[in-house]
């Protein structure tokens, strides 16, 4: 289903920026969505918007667009930036 790519960005540019910053915070920290600081907004609303963007290919279109711009190479998130949860590395639980 093709749709208007701008339909998922929203009308309020500041709110859109805060949303993308929230997604980047979750990606960088490796935290679960419900641990998102309240300064970014309601975690569940942000999560739902993130899922909608995934389902509609917004993230892929952004990646395709920015991948061609050498000045944006530091704006992309990959496995060298995203931290794994400590249990993913086999860390023992503290008792």
Mind listing the pLDDT tens digit for each residue in 58-76? Answer: 988 888 887 777 666 555 5
Q: Grade residue 85 by pLDDT with cuts at 50, 70 and 90.
A: low
Task: Tell me the C-alpha distance between 31 and 42, whole Å.
Answer: 15
Tokens at 11, concatenated: 């009308």
Average pLDDT over residues 3-17: 66
Over 60: is that where the pLDDT of 39 sits?
A: yes
Interhelix angle for 58-67 vs 43-55, to 10°? 70
Domain ranges of the chain: 13-78
């Amino acid at each position: 289903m093709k749709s208007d790519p701008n339909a998922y960005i929203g009308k309020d540019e500041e709110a859109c920026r805060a949303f993308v910053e929230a997604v980047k915070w979750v990606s960088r920290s490796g935290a679960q969505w419900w641990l998102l600081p309240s300064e970014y907004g309601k975690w569940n609303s942000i999560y739902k918007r993130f899922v909608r963007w995934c389902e509609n290919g917004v993230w892929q279109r952004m990646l395709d667009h920015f991948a061609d711009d050498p000045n944006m190479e530091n704006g992309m998130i990959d496995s060298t930036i995203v931290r794994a949860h400590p249990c993913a590395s086999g860390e023992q639980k503290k008792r």
